[in-house]
Amino acid sequence: MKIKQLPQSFVRPLAAAAFSIGLLAALAFSVNVANSADAATSSSSDGATTSTAIFAGGCFWCVESDFDAVPGVIETVSGYSGGNTENPTYKNHHAGKHREVVQITYDSTKVSYEQLLHVFWRSVDPTDEGGQFCDRGHSYTTAIYTVDQAQQEAAIASKAMLVESGVLSKSVVTPVETASMFWAAEGYHQDYYKKNPIRYKYYRTSCGRDKRVAKVWGEEAHSGIERH
């Protein structure tokens, strides 16, 4: 029996709505984690030197999945940032001009910020100013949010190097911006690809993410991500 494919505009809303039963727990999780601009390098109890990076790469489910597969990454948290409203949610972050972002905690002795930038560029379409893949609108556009001056300089240099390389056929439109407040997304969005692998794989495939990244980057697509 042939299964009728749902329109793209309904795929993610249906997947998220299926877990609305956990809304109360989600609201408890969606409190503000921290001001991203205050995220400094620190040492954990196990001796790891941890740092924070924040990227907007379209659907945060996918960005989480990609960076969790990068050696040296300790934790990823989906959230919202860059907008002009407080306590944004999945339902209203668009109106507040927030982007979907992922806050990445990593061991800087195992992976550098420059390496994370390399992975980020090659896991998105940085030439798309209208969104990413099937997800359209400002909240799905790409951006690099820097938490200190060193990251700002590294991100600007990385973007300039990419532009000068001529590897992409179109202009790079991804902005480099100073990080503002980071707001954690609802609990059902965290580790979505682990909790709901079938729905996640269906969404990612039907949205055309990997197909488009492969077309944009060729052999460099998903460089640095172990599962690809």
Residue 226 lies in a domain: no
Q: Would you state the pLDDT for residue 31?
A: 38
Taking the model in full, what pTM does it have? 0.82
Q: What is the mean pLDDT of residues 87-106?
A: 97
Residue 127 lies in a domain: yes
pLDDT score of 67 more than 50:
yes
Q: Which residues pair with 107 in a beta bridge?
A: 50
Residue 40 lies in a domain: yes
Model confidence band, residue 38 (pLDDT cutoffs 50, 70, 90): very low
* CATH, residue 118: 3.30.1060.10
Q: Would you state the pLDDT for residue 22?
A: 43
Q: How many domains does the chain have?
A: 1
SS3 of residue 58 by DSSP: coil
Give the number of residues written for the chain: 228
CA angle (76 as vertex; 199, 13 as ends), nearest 5: 30
Q: Would you state the pLDDT for residue 194?
A: 97
Q: Which of 5-9, 29-33, 83-87 has the lowest mean pLDDT?
A: 29-33
Residue with tokens 């790409």: 142
Which amino acid belongs to residue 225? I
User: What pLDDT digit, counting tens, does each position of 151-169 carry?
Assistant: 999 999 999 999 999 999 9
134 catalytic, yes or no? no
pLDDT score of 28 more than 60:
no
Q: What is the mean pLDDT of residues 110-134?
A: 98
Q: Domain of residue 183: give its range.
A: 8-217
Residue 163 lies in a domain: yes
Q: Would you state the pLDDT for residue 227?
A: 77
User: What pLDDT digit, counting tens, does each position of 125-143 carry?
Assistant: 999 999 999 999 999 999 9
Q: Would you state the pLDDT for residue 48?
A: 72
Which amino acid belongs to residue 124? V
What rounded mean pLDDT belongs to the chain?
87
For 111, what's the count of Cα atoms within 13 Å in the CB-facing half-sphere?
23
| Distance of alpha carbon 85 from alpha carbon 158, whole angstroms | 30
Q: What is the mean pLDDT of residues 95-103?
A: 97
CA angle (143 as vertex; 78, 129 as ends), nearest 5: 120
Residue 222 lies in a domain: no
Residue 130 lies in a domain: yes
Residue 2 lies in a domain: no
DSSP string, 174-202: --EEE--EEEEPPGGGTTHHHH-HHHHHH
Residue 24 lies in a domain: yes
Q: Would you state the pLDDT for residue 228?
A: 65
